[in-house]
A and B are shown apart, each in its own frame.
Chain A
Amino acid sequence: EVLLVESGGGLVQPGGSLRLACAASGFTFNTYWMSWVRLAPGKGLEWVANIKYDESEKYYVDSVRGRFTISRDNAKNSLYLQMNSLRAADTAVYYCARDGPWTGFDSWGQGTLVTVSS
Protein backbone atom coordinates (compact mmCIF):
# COMPACT_ATOMS: atom_id res chain seq x y z
CA GLU A 1 0.00 0.00 0.00
CA VAL A 2 1.29 3.42 -0.97
CA LEU A 3 1.68 5.67 2.05
CA LEU A 4 2.71 9.32 2.06
CA VAL A 5 3.06 11.14 5.38
CA GLU A 6 3.78 14.87 5.49
CA SER A 7 5.26 16.78 8.39
CA GLY A 8 6.76 20.15 9.18
CA GLY A 9 3.77 22.46 8.89
CA GLY A 10 3.01 25.15 11.42
CA LEU A 11 2.63 28.85 12.11
CA VAL A 12 5.29 31.15 10.70
CA GLN A 13 5.58 34.93 10.38
CA PRO A 14 5.61 36.63 6.99
CA GLY A 15 9.11 36.52 5.57
CA GLY A 16 9.94 33.41 7.53
CA SER A 17 10.95 29.92 6.42
CA LEU A 18 9.65 26.41 6.85
CA ARG A 19 10.72 23.00 5.59
CA LEU A 20 8.13 20.38 4.81
CA ALA A 21 8.94 16.69 4.60
CA CYS A 22 7.09 13.72 3.15
CA ALA A 23 7.94 10.14 4.08
CA ALA A 24 7.03 7.64 1.39
CA SER A 25 6.54 3.89 1.65
CA GLY A 26 4.85 1.04 -0.16
CA PHE A 27 6.38 1.71 -3.58
CA THR A 28 9.74 2.11 -5.30
CA PHE A 29 10.24 5.79 -4.48
CA ASN A 30 13.27 6.32 -6.72
CA THR A 31 11.30 5.50 -9.88
CA TYR A 32 8.55 8.11 -9.47
CA TRP A 33 8.18 11.82 -10.00
CA MET A 34 6.80 13.53 -6.90
CA SER A 35 4.85 16.75 -6.40
CA TRP A 36 3.64 19.19 -3.80
CA VAL A 37 0.07 20.44 -4.21
CA ARG A 38 -1.66 22.95 -1.94
CA LEU A 39 -5.17 23.94 -0.97
CA ALA A 40 -5.57 27.46 0.39
CA PRO A 41 -8.59 28.39 2.53
CA GLY A 42 -11.58 29.07 0.31
CA LYS A 43 -9.59 28.32 -2.83
CA GLY A 44 -9.05 25.38 -5.16
CA LEU A 45 -6.17 22.97 -5.59
CA GLU A 46 -2.90 24.42 -6.87
CA TRP A 47 0.12 22.44 -8.02
CA VAL A 48 3.26 23.92 -6.40
CA ALA A 49 6.30 21.99 -7.61
CA ASN A 50 7.50 18.64 -8.85
CA ILE A 51 10.74 16.71 -9.12
CA LYS A 52 11.90 13.90 -11.34
CA TYR A 53 12.88 10.58 -9.77
CA ASP A 54 16.62 11.31 -10.21
CA GLU A 55 16.37 15.03 -9.28
CA SER A 56 17.51 16.00 -12.78
CA GLU A 57 14.38 18.07 -13.42
CA LYS A 58 12.46 20.37 -11.10
CA TYR A 59 9.52 22.62 -11.93
CA TYR A 60 7.64 25.29 -10.00
CA VAL A 61 4.45 27.33 -10.27
CA ASP A 62 5.33 30.97 -11.02
CA SER A 63 4.13 32.25 -7.64
CA VAL A 64 6.74 30.25 -5.68
CA ARG A 65 9.68 30.11 -8.09
CA GLY A 66 12.77 31.58 -6.45
CA ARG A 67 11.30 31.22 -2.94
CA PHE A 68 10.56 27.48 -2.68
CA THR A 69 12.93 24.59 -3.38
CA ILE A 70 11.84 21.01 -3.90
CA SER A 71 14.28 18.19 -3.21
CA ARG A 72 14.34 14.51 -2.40
CA ASP A 73 16.50 11.90 -0.71
CA ASN A 74 15.95 8.58 -2.42
CA ALA A 75 18.04 6.75 0.20
CA LYS A 76 15.54 7.90 2.82
CA ASN A 77 12.42 7.65 0.61
CA SER A 78 11.71 11.27 1.43
CA LEU A 79 10.51 14.39 -0.36
CA TYR A 80 11.09 17.94 0.87
CA LEU A 81 9.88 21.47 0.26
CA GLN A 82 12.01 24.32 1.56
CA MET A 83 9.84 27.43 1.74
CA ASN A 84 11.52 30.82 2.19
CA SER A 85 10.20 34.39 2.16
CA LEU A 86 6.77 33.12 3.08
CA ARG A 87 3.72 35.27 2.44
CA ALA A 88 0.17 35.23 3.75
CA ALA A 89 -0.90 33.93 0.34
CA ASP A 90 1.16 30.76 0.98
CA THR A 91 -1.19 29.78 3.82
CA ALA A 92 -2.60 26.39 2.82
CA VAL A 93 -2.69 22.69 3.42
CA TYR A 94 0.27 21.22 1.56
CA TYR A 95 -0.05 17.73 0.12
CA CYS A 96 2.69 15.42 -1.02
CA ALA A 97 1.58 13.44 -4.06
CA ARG A 98 2.96 10.78 -6.34
CA ASP A 99 3.13 12.23 -9.83
CA GLY A 100 2.33 10.51 -13.16
CA PRO A 101 3.79 12.67 -14.67
CA TRP A 102 1.09 14.19 -16.87
CA THR A 103 -1.56 11.75 -15.65
CA GLY A 104 -1.97 13.65 -12.41
CA PHE A 105 -1.46 12.41 -8.89
CA ASP A 106 -2.46 8.85 -8.08
CA SER A 107 -1.59 8.89 -4.37
CA TRP A 108 -1.80 11.69 -1.83
CA GLY A 109 -0.71 12.26 1.74
CA GLN A 110 -2.98 13.55 4.47
CA GLY A 111 -1.59 17.07 4.18
CA THR A 112 0.18 19.46 6.54
CA LEU A 113 -1.11 22.95 7.37
CA VAL A 114 1.11 25.97 6.85
CA THR A 115 -0.14 29.25 8.30
CA VAL A 116 1.70 32.46 7.50
CA SER A 117 0.60 35.19 9.88
CA SER A 118 1.98 37.77 12.28
Chain B
Amino acid sequence: VMTQSPLSLPVTLGQPASISCRSSQSLVHSDGNTYLNWFQQRPGQSPRRLIYKVSNRDSGVPDRFSGSGSGTYFTLKISRVEAEDVGVYYCMSGTQYIFGQGTKLGIK
Protein backbone atom coordinates (compact mmCIF):
# COMPACT_ATOMS: atom_id res chain seq x y z
CA VAL B 1 0.00 0.00 0.00
CA MET B 2 1.19 3.49 -0.89
CA THR B 3 -0.10 6.26 1.41
CA GLN B 4 0.17 9.90 0.38
CA SER B 5 -0.35 12.99 2.47
CA PRO B 6 -1.86 15.43 2.32
CA LEU B 7 -4.63 14.48 -0.10
CA SER B 8 -5.42 18.14 -0.74
CA LEU B 9 -2.77 20.85 -0.82
CA PRO B 10 -3.70 24.51 -1.36
CA VAL B 11 -0.58 26.59 -1.94
CA THR B 12 0.12 30.27 -2.51
CA LEU B 13 1.88 31.04 -5.78
CA GLY B 14 5.61 31.30 -5.25
CA GLN B 15 5.54 29.32 -2.04
CA PRO B 16 7.02 25.83 -1.55
CA ALA B 17 4.98 22.64 -1.44
CA SER B 18 5.73 19.16 -0.16
CA ILE B 19 3.97 15.83 -0.64
CA SER B 20 4.88 12.73 1.30
CA CYS B 21 4.49 9.11 0.29
CA ARG B 22 4.86 6.14 2.59
CA SER B 23 5.08 2.53 1.48
CA SER B 24 3.96 -0.41 3.59
CA GLN B 25 7.11 -2.25 2.57
CA SER B 26 10.60 -1.35 1.47
CA LEU B 27 10.94 -0.28 -2.15
CA VAL B 28 14.57 -1.33 -2.35
CA HIS B 29 14.90 -3.87 -5.12
CA SER B 30 17.32 -6.79 -5.05
CA ASP B 31 19.34 -4.94 -7.68
CA GLY B 32 20.02 -2.18 -5.15
CA ASN B 33 17.79 0.42 -6.77
CA THR B 34 14.81 2.02 -5.04
CA TYR B 35 11.90 2.17 -7.46
CA LEU B 36 9.76 5.06 -6.30
CA ASN B 37 8.33 7.24 -9.05
CA TRP B 38 6.26 10.45 -9.13
CA PHE B 39 3.63 11.48 -11.68
CA GLN B 40 1.70 14.67 -12.34
CA GLN B 41 -1.72 14.84 -13.97
CA ARG B 42 -2.84 18.32 -14.91
CA PRO B 43 -6.57 18.94 -15.44
CA GLY B 44 -7.71 17.52 -18.78
CA GLN B 45 -4.30 16.02 -19.59
CA SER B 46 -2.70 12.61 -19.53
CA PRO B 47 -0.39 11.79 -16.64
CA ARG B 48 3.27 12.66 -16.96
CA ARG B 49 6.23 11.18 -15.12
CA LEU B 50 8.21 13.75 -13.15
CA ILE B 51 10.66 11.69 -11.11
CA TYR B 52 11.90 8.10 -11.28
CA LYS B 53 14.00 6.07 -8.86
CA VAL B 54 13.36 8.54 -6.01
CA SER B 55 15.24 11.56 -7.28
CA ASN B 56 15.87 11.43 -11.05
CA ARG B 57 14.03 14.19 -12.87
CA ASP B 58 12.61 13.46 -16.31
CA SER B 59 13.70 15.51 -19.29
CA GLY B 60 11.82 18.79 -19.47
CA VAL B 61 10.78 18.75 -15.81
CA PRO B 62 11.62 22.08 -14.15
CA ASP B 63 14.32 21.93 -11.50
CA ARG B 64 11.92 23.34 -8.93
CA PHE B 65 10.69 19.74 -8.63
CA SER B 66 12.80 17.42 -6.52
CA GLY B 67 12.39 13.99 -5.02
CA SER B 68 14.01 12.46 -1.97
CA GLY B 69 13.66 9.65 0.52
CA SER B 70 14.68 6.09 1.16
CA GLY B 71 13.30 2.73 2.22
CA THR B 72 9.62 3.37 2.85
CA TYR B 73 9.35 7.16 3.14
CA PHE B 74 9.59 9.58 0.23
CA THR B 75 8.93 13.23 -0.53
CA LEU B 76 8.20 15.33 -3.60
CA LYS B 77 9.03 18.99 -3.18
CA ILE B 78 8.22 21.99 -5.33
CA SER B 79 10.47 24.88 -4.38
CA ARG B 80 8.19 27.64 -5.72
CA VAL B 81 4.72 26.71 -6.93
CA GLU B 82 3.60 28.11 -10.27
CA ALA B 83 0.11 28.17 -11.77
CA GLU B 84 0.99 25.37 -14.20
CA ASP B 85 1.69 23.03 -11.26
CA VAL B 86 -2.01 22.69 -10.47
CA GLY B 87 -3.10 19.07 -10.75
CA VAL B 88 -2.98 15.71 -9.02
CA TYR B 89 0.32 14.16 -7.98
CA TYR B 90 0.83 10.43 -7.52
CA CYS B 91 3.66 8.40 -6.11
CA MET B 92 4.07 4.90 -7.46
CA SER B 93 5.89 1.81 -6.29
CA GLY B 94 7.85 0.45 -9.24
CA THR B 95 8.26 -2.94 -7.61
CA GLN B 96 4.55 -3.49 -6.98
CA TYR B 97 3.01 -1.22 -9.63
CA ILE B 98 0.82 0.45 -7.02
CA PHE B 99 -0.04 4.16 -7.01
CA GLY B 100 -0.74 6.33 -4.01
CA GLN B 101 -4.23 7.85 -3.67
CA GLY B 102 -3.12 11.12 -5.26
CA THR B 103 -2.61 14.61 -3.86
CA LYS B 104 -4.61 17.43 -5.39
CA LEU B 105 -2.55 20.61 -5.53
CA GLY B 106 -4.43 23.87 -5.98
CA ILE B 107 -3.76 27.57 -5.66
CA LYS B 108 -4.98 29.47 -2.61
Residues of chain A touching chain B, judged by Cβ–Cβ distance below 8 Å, are 35, 37, 39, 44-47, 50, 59, 61, 95, 100-106, 108-111
Contacts and interface: CB of A to CB of B under 8 A. Distances in A.
Interface in B4-43: 29, 33, 35, 37, 39, 41
Given A44-B100, A44-B101, A45-B102, A95 B46 contact: yes
Interface string B92-108: 10110111111000000
B32 to A, nearest CB: 12
B52 A111 contact: no
Contacts of B37: 103-104
B94 A103 contact: yes
Contacts of B39: 45, 104-105
Contacts of B88: 44
Interface of B: 29, 33, 35, 37, 39, 41, 46-49, 52-53, 58, 88, 90, 92, 94-95, 97-102
12 contacts: A37-B47, A44-B90, A44-B102, A45-B90, A50-B97, A59-B97, A100-B52, A102-B35, A104-B37, A104-B94, A105-B47, A106-B49
B46 A104 contact: no
Given A45-B39, A45-B41, A45-B90, A105 B99 contact: no
A47 B98 contact: yes
A47 B47 contact: no
Main secondary structure of the interface of B (DSSP, over half): loop
A27 to B, nearest CB: 14
Contact of B92 (A59, A104, A111): A104
B101 A104 contact: no
B97 A45 contact: no
A59 B97 CA distance: 10
Contact of B35 (A95, A103, A108, A111): A103
B47 A44 contact: no
A97 B97 CA distance: 13
Given A103-B52, A103-B53, A104-B52, A45 B99 contact: yes
A104 B39 CA distance: 9
